[in-house]
A and B are shown apart, each in its own frame.
Chain A
Amino acid sequence: MLEDYHCNIENIRNFSIIAHIDHGKSTIADRLLEFTGTISEREKREQILDDMDLEREKGITIKSKAVRLYYHSKDGNEYILNLIDTPGHVDFSYEVSRSLAACEGALLVVDASQGVQAQTIANINLALKSNLKIIPIINKIDLTTANPDRVAKELQNISEIKEEEIILASAKEGIGTSDILEAIVNRIPSPKGSLHLPLRALIFDSVYNSYKGTIVYVKVVDGVIKPGMFIQAMSNDTKYEVAEVGIFRPKMQTIKKLTAGEVGYIIAGFKNIKDTHVGDTIIDASNPSRESLPGYKKVTPLVFCSIYPIDNKEYENLKIALEKLKLNDSSLFSEDETSEALGFGFRCGFLGLLHMEIIQERLEREYYINLIATTPSVMYQVTKKNGEMLKISNPSSFPSRNDIEKIEEPYVKVNIITPSKCIGAIMDLVQERRGIFKNMEYIDEKILKLDYHLPLNEIIIDFYDKLKSISSGYASLDYEIIGYQSSDLAKVDILVNHQLVDALSFIIYKDKAYTRARKIVEKLKEIIPRQMYEVPLQATIEGKIIARETIKALKKDVLAKCYGGDITRKRKLLEKQKAGKKRMKKIGKVEIPQEAFLGILKI
């Protein structure tokens, strides 16, 4: 059978699909799977690789996936094509880069109507850094708004891509699929390793499965890996016996061995996530190779927030849930934290806001834990007067103003691609976010590329949404960290009923502190239900009150009338209200709904 068949390394092609979000990666992947018979008609469903529930809903791909296709080329030979699907959102460019490390080529997909976007450029740069052969594809040529000529020009303007390399496709209508497959075979080089050298396999992902334990995705560079062999990760001495190796079609399928050039998975009873670091090299324990493969930089989370269970009894469950999520997602960071207001919880680090939202949703939906998440923050660098330097992401652990010599915040280089007519609105937005203009370039006569330096803090919450709305969805964004710069920042504390709610503290550029504090106390007044007594709300900087509001006492809460029949219905209503109160966090004497913590996020 095909599954047991191994062709030699010259007939293997490993490739990724990279694109700006929604340009059609997943749909193109579907077409390739269908064309090569990897999925039968019956198994077809849209965007087959996005099998996580959340992914379907949000319409984005979170985890990269690897699938093996068998392709009978026009040159008469049989090829193994390993397709690695990658996420498209700016938060996940780390995942993109590690998928690319397992490849020799990449399909670059660009929407025929939207054209080049910020991520397109970022992806091209990533691919070039990994020395990949790029196959440019202009997708969605079926759209009436498609303008492939314009897009082709844009591509040539921003890169070395040549016109004759570009493939026109419509993943929706299946146009271009066979051209793409031929280009993969003919243009992408075969992997470079050797079957006869000692084993070296690159870990490019790992997932945790409750039946099988940790499953490690690898690209075998040299040698062979098969069940019964003892292996270890190069950075680590723990040895494991390989229990199973296999490939994805797209479901997991056991095979007898994985040889040089192939992409697949290994199950070896890995106990510890540290033993299967993404980027590490797996070697034969009895015949270790000396040289590790080039790995990846460890990711640094950019956005931080604290996560607490509403019900303190859920703490252990939350802890376990986070551990499990971290197995699947090495870019997620978490450590223990205690809040005076919220009790035991975790400080978590994320690649970006979307990543944060996805993790929070998975905790609530897959693990059924009701959470409170604090306002996201970045990592500040604080130099104290005594010379001590601190890295602080949590406002509540900020030293007192008097002890601080200077505070620095992370800056990013932001690259915005936009229709030129939106430039005015974008400049206003960036200005308001303390942006510094760096450069402007025309991609074609109607499309601009803008470079700015901005504090990361100013873009993590709603910058992307705002950018999209002022450009009617056309502008796109990509960013990378460039370093720290000192800023005039202040910590604002929120007091509810004279009690500091540490989880509501935030760091902000001083000039903006007053306006934001005002909005927050107003919002809290709206969200926190009246209590039996007056509840003052205050925002303070260093103990000085900068904004205040008062929630008036609840004076009347009584069912107007209640006769016989009503009582069971009313009792059920009261039960429901009571359950709602259980979802509130009691701080001092005051019950604060979950929305209070979420609500101020959106200000």
Chain B
Amino acid sequence: MELGLYLHFPFCISKCPYCDFNSYQLKDDNQISSYISAFYQEITAYSQKLKKSNIKTIYLGGGTPTILSGVQIYNILEFCKDKFTIDKNAEITIEANPGTLDGEKIKILIESGINRLSLGAQSFNDLFLKKLGRIHNTQDIIDSYFLAREIGFSNINIDIMFALPGQTTEDFQATLKKAVSLKSDHLSLYNLTIKPGTEYYENYKSNILKLPSEDEEYDMYHWAIKFLKENSFEHYEIANFARPHKRSLHNLNYWQNQPYLGIGAGAYSFIRGYRYMNFKDPAKYIKEVMNDKLPIDHGEKLSLRNRMIETIILGLRIKDGVSYKKYKTRFGINLNDIFSKQIDKLVNLGLLKKDDCKIKLTNKGIFLANIVFREFVD
């Protein structure tokens, strides 16, 4: 079995007001060391069961994985290599926040085998960075980026958010232009969404957060797609853009609905048709692992029907769409035999394109993907 491996680090220097990821402000460094101990233990617990699996990609995400020291990261990856079978060409990505990187650390990351860096830039406007509660400024992004390039990262992604409170289309265009000028290999473009439980959500509810209108969001996103294409980025997934051969393999594995193992607090796994999640609270996670239990909070065995639906929803996010042949190989059923009604309806609405070998979103469908997805779910 081929497998993606996700490692979650739920700590950040401070908590951003819009963020609903499983991340917590770091109170003291002991939290990290006890978390890492549990981490090792969880990896060990899986190592026997998954020894034969071939790990093709690793992703260190968070939170802020680079809040760990270079040595801690190095050791974790060494431990993984010891316990699992990792493809020698594996893509290994780490998320990093500008301002948590220095030359020393970058060197160790490369020595650890990490070959892809994902920079959480979010904006190239200091005012918006401040409003987003980010600890870095524009110069930090630029410095971290070039330092990483210099020391040897040949595959760098930059995360950008848009539709920020108070942001105009012009503001966003300026940010994106600066991002592109760095000539990164990959860009992720996320529409800010207001999530319950966040500070932004509370502000939004009490009407003190002025968000761009739906039409403005559309304009930003629409412009970005065009602009990035002009700058030879391939729009290969709804929110992701890559230079040739620089697609994120780890994430492609998700979009192809293939198995992955998640380690750490709140991490999801999808193995043998089971989708399950670890306890989110780091303390609870640590406690469970230390009691020799798998720290699983909840999960379910997906029905064939739901796996078929999820495979379509995820697959349609990618430019390549859903191939009839792969679908048939995987489920033994023709896509068009089961979903012809939905497909025809969406083709008529101009949201879906259908040819001899696949279905995929049309340009319009990309913007209205939820309508398409809703059609396929039960």
Contacts and interface: CB of A to CB of B under 8 A. Distances in A.
A265 to B, nearest CB: 49
Given A555-B215, A556-B218, A560-B193, A571 B239 contact: no
Contact of A558 (B268, B277, B369, B377): B369
Contacts of A564: 4, 6, 253-254, 260, 262, 268, 270
6 contacts: A552-B215, A557-B370, A564-B262, A567-B313, A567-B314, A571-B310
A575 B378 contact: yes
B371 interface: yes
A142 B310 CA distance: 65
B217 A581 contact: no
A578 B214 CA distance: 21
Contact of A571 (B251, B309, B349): B309
Contact of B368 (A532, A560, A566, A577): A532
B319 interface: no
Contact of B367 (A552, A557, A562, A565): A557
Interface string A547-591: 000001011111111111111101100110110010000000000
Given A557-B370, A565-B267, 12 more contacts: A555-B367, A555-B368, A556-B221, A558-B238, A558-B368, A558-B370, A561-B190, A563-B251, A563-B254, A567-B310, A568-B275, A578-B374
Contact of A578 (B238, B300, B377): B377
B349 A532 contact: yes
Nearest to B159: A561
Interface string B352-378: 000000000000001111110110011
B302 interface: yes
Nearest to B163: A560
Interface of A: 530, 532, 552, 554-568, 570-571, 574-575, 577-578, 581
Chain B CB count within 10 A is highest, among A559, A564, A575, for A564
B218 A568 contact: no
Given A554-B368, A560-B190, A565 B268 contact: yes
Contacts, number: 93
A557 B369 contact: yes
A562 B368 contact: no
A562 B317 contact: yes
Given A565-B267, A574-B377, A559 B370 contact: yes
Contacts of B138: none
A571 B306 contact: yes
A566 B190 CA distance: 15
Contacts of A560: 190-193, 239
Nearest to B311: A567
Nearest to B314: A567
B371 A532 contact: yes
Chain A CB count within 10 A is highest, among B4, B262, B366, B368, for B368
Interface string B212-249: 00110110010000000000000000110000000000
Given A556-B214, A564-B260, A571 B377 contact: yes
B323 interface: no
Q: Please list the 3 inter-chain residue pairs (A to B) with the smallest Cβ-Cβ separation, ordered nearest first.
A: A565-B268, A564-B254, A560-B191
B53 interface: no
A103 to B, nearest CB: 55
B313 to A, nearest CB: 6
Contact of A556 (B6, B190, B217, B314): B217
Contacts of B193: 560
A19 to B, nearest CB: 43
B367 A558 contact: yes
Nearest to A563: B254
Chain B CB count within 10 A is highest, among A566, A568, A578, for A568
Contacts of B115: none
A173 B130 CA distance: 64
B137 interface: no
A552 B257 CA distance: 35
A576 B25 CA distance: 33
A555 B218 contact: yes
Nearest to B350: A532
Contacts of B300: 568
Contacts of B188: 561
B367 A556 contact: yes
A17 B321 CA distance: 73
A566 B314 CA distance: 10
Contacts of B309: 571
Contacts of A557: 367-371
B368 A556 contact: yes
Contacts of B317: 562
Contacts of A555: 214-215, 218, 367-368
A574 B267 CA distance: 22
Nearest to B259: A564
B192 to A, nearest CB: 8
B52 to A, nearest CB: 21
Chain A CB count within 10 A is highest, among B251, B277, B377, for B377
A20 B313 CA distance: 60
Contacts of B370: 557-559, 574, 577
Contact of B374 (A554, A562, A581): A581
Given A564-B6, A568-B300, A568-B302, A574 B373 contact: yes
A65 B259 CA distance: 65
Interface string B250-273: 010110010010100001101000
A578 B377 CA distance: 8
A568 B299 CA distance: 10
A574 B370 CA distance: 8
A558 B215 contact: no
Contacts of A574: 313, 370, 373-374, 377
Chain B CB count within 10 A is highest, among A558, A561, A571, for A558
A560 B238 CA distance: 8
A581 B371 CA distance: 11
A530 B366 CA distance: 17
Nearest to A558: B369
Nearest to A562: B317
Given A571-B310, A577-B374, A558 B366 contact: yes
Contacts of A567: 254, 257, 275, 310, 313-314
Contacts of B314: 562, 567
A530 B217 CA distance: 15
A140 B367 CA distance: 64
B173 to A, nearest CB: 17
Contacts of A532: 349, 368, 371
B229 to A, nearest CB: 18
Contacts of A530: 214
